Amino acid sequence: MNEVQLIDKYLKRLTKKNSSSQGLNDDIFFDKSKKLAISIDTYVEKVHFPNFKSPDLVIKKVLRSSLSDLICKGVKPKYYFLSASGNSKSFSKKNLKKISNSLSSEQKRFNIELSGGDTVNSSINSFTCCVVGFSKNIVKRHNSKIGDDIYITGYLGDSYLGLQILKKKISLSSNLRKYFISKYYMPSINLKMIDFLHKFASTTIDISDGLLIDLDKMIKQQKYGFEIRLDDINISNQLKNFLSKNKRFKIENTIFNGDDYEIIFTSHKKNRSLINKYAKNENLKIQRIGEILKKHQDSCILKGNQKFKINKNLGYTHRF
């Protein structure tokens, strides 16, 4: 079974209806009376990161990916708790200094504070990060309306190329290699999106497993569908350059693989001009790429004038 099936079958019955757990249908806990939001994620070597050769970069990926869960809900992170498992090799004095320095710089960037955690001796390198923030409200996951516009932030696909480089599946020039690997380890998490989402978004999710999979998660309770215009999805100049020289890599097999930690959100059509103006004034990369449809079975991708059914294999799903 996959992750969603496991949660639906065995775990949802352990929560109360309409509780702060959001029925386990979102990535965060939110207690409105206390204005308290919490998220937690686990990252395991060879599953969430290929190796531990760059501990300073791995820990940045762990932290930024964890912060993304709150930010995409419109919550400013304040505290984080970090548990780590490793051994004398992975937690050598040299590596621990690198990890500490990286966390220090990230704390300054996002104005957050390490507030607790745990360490365990293990042959497996893994991290569990819990992030705490405060907000009067959150932008919930299942709140879109039929006809709403679908938007994404930033660029998709760069992280996927970085992972392929780290796995030694492709070889690129030094500059491109450095660019894509940095995008894999350091997703572009933008605190400016917090106010923006409260102003304009009806529902949100961050892109961890892939645009199509996460978009489906965002609307599955409503049984809505979606139409995505492939040509409207922004990609970086670096990825454009790579695709132009490597024809065996199709754009759809590059941008739908996840690990981008950009934000998908929906908004009413009446907000189009306001969103464009706000994004321009705040220097935010935001692109309208489709709309919400009435029926789930009508979900599709438009490429030029051609319509394609959704390929469910595009993206990543944890299986047990």
Backbone angles phi, psi at 209, to 5 degrees: -90, -15
Tens-place pLDDT, residues 228-242: 999 999 999 999 999
pLDDT value of position 253:
84
State the alpha helices, DSSP H only, in 127-172: 158-166
Mean pLDDT value across the chain = 94
Given this model, what pLDDT does residue 3 score? 84
Structure tokens at 76: 């400013």
- Compute CA distances 193 → 18, 79, 94, whole Å: 27, 19, 35
Which pLDDT score is estimated for 249?
A: 86
The yes-or-no verdict on residue 311 having pLDDT over 80 is no
pTM of the shown model = 0.94
In single-letter form, the type of residue at position 43 comes to Y
**Is residue 27 very low, low, confident or very high in pLDDT (cuts 50, 70, 90)?**
confident
Tell me: pLDDT of 313 over 80. no
Q: What does the pLDDT look like over 81-118, one tens digit per residue?
A: 999 999 999 999 999 999 999 999 999 999 999 999 99
Instruction: Please tell me the predicted confidence (pLDDT) of residue 312.
Output: 67
φ and ψ at residue 129, rounded to 5 degrees: -120, 125
What structural domains and CATH numbers belong to the chain? 3-134 (3.30.1330.10), 149-309 (3.90.650.10)
Mean pLDDT for the stretch of residues 121-144: 96
